[in-house]
Structure 1
Protein backbone atom coordinates (compact mmCIF):
# COMPACT_ATOMS: atom_id res chain seq x y z
CA UNK A 1 0.00 0.00 0.00
CA UNK A 2 2.81 2.42 0.84
CA UNK A 3 4.56 1.69 -2.48
CA UNK A 4 1.28 2.33 -4.30
CA UNK A 5 0.95 5.72 -2.58
CA UNK A 6 4.53 6.68 -3.45
CA UNK A 7 4.04 5.74 -7.09
CA UNK A 8 0.64 7.42 -7.35
CA UNK A 9 1.73 10.68 -5.72
CA UNK A 10 4.92 10.83 -7.80
CA UNK A 11 3.53 9.55 -11.09
CA UNK A 12 4.38 12.81 -12.83
CA UNK A 13 8.06 12.28 -11.92
CA UNK A 14 8.05 8.99 -13.86
CA UNK A 15 6.49 10.86 -16.78
CA UNK A 16 9.25 13.49 -16.59
CA UNK A 17 11.91 10.77 -16.54
CA UNK A 18 10.39 8.94 -19.51
CA UNK A 19 9.88 12.06 -21.63
CA UNK A 20 13.32 13.46 -20.91
CA UNK A 21 14.94 10.07 -21.56
CA UNK A 22 13.44 10.21 -25.04
CA UNK A 23 14.58 13.81 -25.37
CA UNK A 24 18.07 12.78 -24.21
CA UNK A 25 18.21 10.09 -26.89
CA UNK A 26 17.21 12.60 -29.56
CA UNK A 27 19.84 15.05 -28.31
CA UNK A 28 22.53 12.35 -28.39
CA UNK A 29 21.58 11.31 -31.93
CA UNK A 30 21.63 14.95 -33.03
CA UNK A 31 25.08 15.65 -31.59
CA UNK A 32 26.64 12.31 -32.56
CA UNK A 33 25.54 12.76 -36.19
CA UNK A 34 26.72 16.36 -36.39
CA UNK A 35 29.30 17.40 -38.98
CA UNK A 36 31.20 19.07 -36.13
CA UNK A 37 33.74 16.54 -34.81
CA UNK A 38 33.77 18.11 -31.33
CA UNK A 39 30.01 17.68 -31.07
CA UNK A 40 30.40 14.04 -32.09
CA UNK A 41 33.20 13.51 -29.57
CA UNK A 42 31.29 15.08 -26.68
CA UNK A 43 27.76 14.04 -27.72
CA UNK A 44 26.92 12.44 -24.36
CA UNK A 45 28.12 15.40 -22.29
CA UNK A 46 26.39 17.88 -24.60
CA UNK A 47 23.15 15.90 -24.46
CA UNK A 48 23.19 15.99 -20.64
CA UNK A 49 24.04 19.70 -20.51
CA UNK A 50 21.50 20.78 -23.12
CA UNK A 51 18.82 18.50 -21.62
CA UNK A 52 19.44 19.88 -18.13
CA UNK A 53 19.45 23.47 -19.38
CA UNK A 54 16.19 22.88 -21.22
CA UNK A 55 14.73 21.39 -18.02
CA UNK A 56 15.75 24.51 -16.09
CA UNK A 57 14.15 26.82 -18.66
CA UNK A 58 11.01 24.65 -18.75
CA UNK A 59 10.57 24.80 -14.98
CA UNK A 60 11.39 28.52 -14.95
CA UNK A 61 8.78 29.30 -17.58
CA UNK A 62 6.18 27.21 -15.69
CA UNK A 63 6.75 29.43 -12.65
CA UNK A 64 5.27 32.37 -14.57
CA UNK A 65 2.36 30.51 -16.19
CA UNK A 66 -0.96 30.74 -14.31
CA UNK A 67 -2.31 27.43 -12.96
CA UNK A 68 1.08 25.74 -13.47
CA UNK A 69 3.65 24.90 -10.85
CA UNK A 70 7.42 24.84 -10.94
CA UNK A 71 9.29 22.22 -8.94
CA UNK A 72 12.93 21.43 -8.27
CA UNK A 73 11.89 17.76 -8.04
CA UNK A 74 10.54 17.96 -11.59
CA UNK A 75 13.89 19.38 -12.67
CA UNK A 76 15.70 16.50 -10.94
CA UNK A 77 13.43 14.03 -12.73
CA UNK A 78 14.18 15.75 -16.05
CA UNK A 79 17.94 15.51 -15.53
CA UNK A 80 17.66 11.89 -14.36
CA UNK A 81 15.76 11.05 -17.55
CA UNK A 82 18.39 12.63 -19.81
CA UNK A 83 21.21 11.01 -17.82
CA UNK A 84 19.55 7.57 -17.92
CA UNK A 85 19.33 7.77 -21.70
CA UNK A 86 23.05 8.54 -21.87
CA UNK A 87 23.83 5.69 -19.49
CA UNK A 88 21.89 3.28 -21.69
CA UNK A 89 23.84 4.53 -24.72
CA UNK A 90 27.16 4.03 -22.91
CA UNK A 91 26.21 0.53 -21.76
CA UNK A 92 25.06 -0.42 -25.25
CA UNK A 93 28.30 0.83 -26.80
CA UNK A 94 30.41 -0.95 -24.16
CA UNK A 95 28.55 -4.20 -24.68
CA UNK A 96 29.16 -4.03 -28.42
CA UNK A 97 32.84 -3.28 -27.78
CA UNK A 98 33.20 -6.21 -25.37
CA UNK A 99 31.46 -8.54 -27.82
CA UNK A 100 33.87 -7.43 -30.55
CA UNK A 101 36.89 -8.06 -28.32
CA UNK A 102 35.70 -11.55 -27.42
CA UNK A 103 34.87 -12.29 -31.05
CA UNK A 104 38.40 -11.27 -32.08
CA UNK A 105 39.97 -13.32 -29.29
CA UNK A 106 37.97 -16.41 -30.18
CA UNK A 107 38.69 -16.07 -33.88
CA UNK A 108 42.45 -15.61 -33.46
CA UNK A 109 44.73 -18.53 -34.32
CA UNK A 110 46.34 -18.66 -30.88
CA UNK A 111 43.10 -19.80 -29.26
CA UNK A 112 42.17 -22.47 -31.76
CA UNK A 113 43.34 -26.01 -30.97
CA UNK A 114 46.28 -27.13 -33.07
CA UNK A 115 45.82 -30.03 -35.46
CA UNK A 116 48.15 -32.96 -35.11
Structure 2
Protein backbone atom coordinates (compact mmCIF):
# COMPACT_ATOMS: atom_id res chain seq x y z
CA UNK A 1 0.00 0.00 0.00
CA UNK A 2 2.70 2.50 0.96
CA UNK A 3 4.78 1.58 -2.06
CA UNK A 4 1.78 2.49 -4.20
CA UNK A 5 1.35 5.78 -2.31
CA UNK A 6 5.04 6.53 -2.67
CA UNK A 7 4.99 5.92 -6.42
CA UNK A 8 1.88 8.09 -6.86
CA UNK A 9 2.47 10.60 -4.07
CA UNK A 10 1.94 13.70 -6.20
CA UNK A 11 -1.63 12.74 -7.10
CA UNK A 12 -2.57 10.77 -3.98
CA UNK A 13 -0.77 12.74 -1.27
CA UNK A 14 0.59 16.15 -2.29
CA UNK A 15 -2.37 17.39 -4.35
CA UNK A 16 -4.96 16.43 -1.70
CA UNK A 17 -2.82 18.17 0.94
CA UNK A 18 -2.52 21.32 -1.17
CA UNK A 19 -6.24 21.42 -1.99
CA UNK A 20 -7.23 20.72 1.62
CA UNK A 21 -4.90 23.42 2.95
CA UNK A 22 -6.16 25.94 0.36
CA UNK A 23 -9.75 25.12 1.29
CA UNK A 24 -8.95 25.72 4.97
CA UNK A 25 -7.30 29.03 4.16
CA UNK A 26 -10.21 30.15 1.97
CA UNK A 27 -12.83 29.19 4.56
CA UNK A 28 -11.00 30.97 7.37
CA UNK A 29 -10.51 34.04 5.16
CA UNK A 30 -14.23 34.50 4.61
CA UNK A 31 -16.28 36.66 6.98
CA UNK A 32 -18.07 34.43 9.47
CA UNK A 33 -21.48 35.28 7.97
CA UNK A 34 -20.32 33.95 4.57
CA UNK A 35 -19.43 30.48 5.82
CA UNK A 36 -22.36 28.07 6.12
CA UNK A 37 -22.82 26.59 9.57
CA UNK A 38 -22.39 22.83 9.76
CA UNK A 39 -24.31 22.64 13.02
CA UNK A 40 -21.44 21.61 15.30
CA UNK A 41 -19.47 23.47 17.93
CA UNK A 42 -16.90 25.91 16.56
CA UNK A 43 -14.12 24.19 18.55
CA UNK A 44 -15.04 20.84 17.02
CA UNK A 45 -14.71 22.42 13.57
CA UNK A 46 -11.20 23.62 14.47
CA UNK A 47 -10.31 20.21 15.85
CA UNK A 48 -11.60 18.37 12.77
CA UNK A 49 -9.93 20.77 10.34
CA UNK A 50 -6.50 20.31 11.92
CA UNK A 51 -7.02 16.57 12.42
CA UNK A 52 -7.38 16.27 8.64
CA UNK A 53 -4.55 18.69 7.92
CA UNK A 54 -2.08 16.89 10.17
CA UNK A 55 -3.09 13.49 8.80
CA UNK A 56 -2.33 14.62 5.24
CA UNK A 57 0.76 16.59 6.22
CA UNK A 58 2.22 13.67 8.18
CA UNK A 59 1.69 11.37 5.21
CA UNK A 60 3.36 13.88 2.87
CA UNK A 61 6.35 14.45 5.14
CA UNK A 62 6.75 10.71 5.68
CA UNK A 63 6.86 10.02 1.95
CA UNK A 64 9.12 12.90 0.86
CA UNK A 65 12.75 12.07 0.12
CA UNK A 66 14.45 15.48 -0.04
CA UNK A 67 15.14 15.67 3.69
CA UNK A 68 15.96 12.50 5.63
CA UNK A 69 15.77 14.53 8.85
CA UNK A 70 12.18 15.60 8.11
CA UNK A 71 11.21 12.10 6.99
CA UNK A 72 12.67 10.55 10.13
CA UNK A 73 10.99 13.12 12.39
CA UNK A 74 7.74 13.53 10.45
CA UNK A 75 5.68 13.36 13.65
CA UNK A 76 7.49 16.31 15.24
CA UNK A 77 7.67 18.37 12.04
CA UNK A 78 3.96 17.83 11.41
CA UNK A 79 3.07 19.07 14.87
CA UNK A 80 5.37 22.09 14.58
CA UNK A 81 4.07 23.08 11.13
CA UNK A 82 0.39 22.50 11.97
CA UNK A 83 0.68 24.36 15.29
CA UNK A 84 2.48 27.29 13.68
CA UNK A 85 -0.13 27.42 10.93
CA UNK A 86 -2.88 27.33 13.57
CA UNK A 87 -1.26 30.33 15.28
CA UNK A 88 -0.92 32.22 11.97
CA UNK A 89 -4.51 31.38 11.08
CA UNK A 90 -5.80 32.71 14.40
CA UNK A 91 -3.79 35.92 13.98
CA UNK A 92 -5.02 36.21 10.38
CA UNK A 93 -8.61 36.07 11.62
CA UNK A 94 -8.08 39.32 13.53
CA UNK A 95 -8.48 41.18 10.24
CA UNK A 96 -11.47 39.16 8.97
CA UNK A 97 -14.92 40.70 9.67
CA UNK A 98 -16.91 38.67 12.17
CA UNK A 99 -13.94 36.51 13.19
CA UNK A 100 -11.70 36.65 16.20
CA UNK A 101 -8.41 35.30 17.49
CA UNK A 102 -9.00 32.97 20.43
CA UNK A 103 -6.57 30.88 22.44
CA UNK A 104 -9.20 28.14 22.81
CA UNK A 105 -9.41 27.90 19.00
CA UNK A 106 -5.64 27.51 18.77
CA UNK A 107 -5.83 24.83 21.47
CA UNK A 108 -8.46 22.96 19.44
CA UNK A 109 -6.24 23.29 16.35
CA UNK A 110 -3.23 21.84 18.16
CA UNK A 111 -5.23 19.01 19.77
CA UNK A 112 -6.68 18.14 16.36
CA UNK A 113 -3.17 18.09 14.89
CA UNK A 114 -1.85 15.84 17.66
CA UNK A 115 -4.70 13.37 17.38
CA UNK A 116 -4.56 13.41 13.57
CA UNK A 117 -0.95 12.22 13.68
CA UNK A 118 -1.62 9.75 16.48
CA UNK A 119 -4.59 8.36 14.53
CA UNK A 120 -2.39 7.98 11.47
CA UNK A 121 0.36 6.24 13.41
CA UNK A 122 -1.87 3.90 15.42
CA UNK A 123 -4.72 3.03 13.09
CA UNK A 124 -3.64 3.67 9.51
CA UNK A 125 -0.15 2.22 9.81
CA UNK A 126 -1.37 -0.89 11.64
CA UNK A 127 -4.17 -1.47 9.15
CA UNK A 128 -1.80 -1.44 6.23
CA UNK A 129 1.16 -3.09 7.95
CA UNK A 130 3.56 -0.30 7.13
CA UNK A 131 6.81 -1.40 5.60
CA UNK A 132 9.29 1.43 5.33
CA UNK A 133 7.37 4.53 6.41
CA UNK A 134 9.44 6.18 9.16
CA UNK A 135 8.53 7.11 12.70
Give the TM-score normalised by the residue count of structure 2: 0.59
Separation in 1 of the partners of 2:61 and 2:122? 18
Separation in 2 of the partners of 1:43 and 1:87? 12
Separation in 2 of the partners of 1:30 and 1:90? 13
Match of 2:96 in 1: 65
Give the TM-score normalised by the residue count of structure 1: 0.69
After alignment, is 19-28 or 64-73 more displaced? 64-73
Separation in 2 of the partners of 1:14 and 1:65? 20
Where structure 2 has 5 or more consecutive residues not aligned to the other structure, the ranges are 1-39, 131-135
Larger Rg: 1
Match of 1:107 in 2: none
1:67 to partner: Cα distance = 2.2
* Equivalent runs, 1:45-64 vs 2, <5 Å: 45-64=76-95
**Would you say how many aligned residue pairs link Structure 1 and Structure 2?**
88
Match of 1:38 in 2: 69
1:43 to partner: Cα distance = 0.5
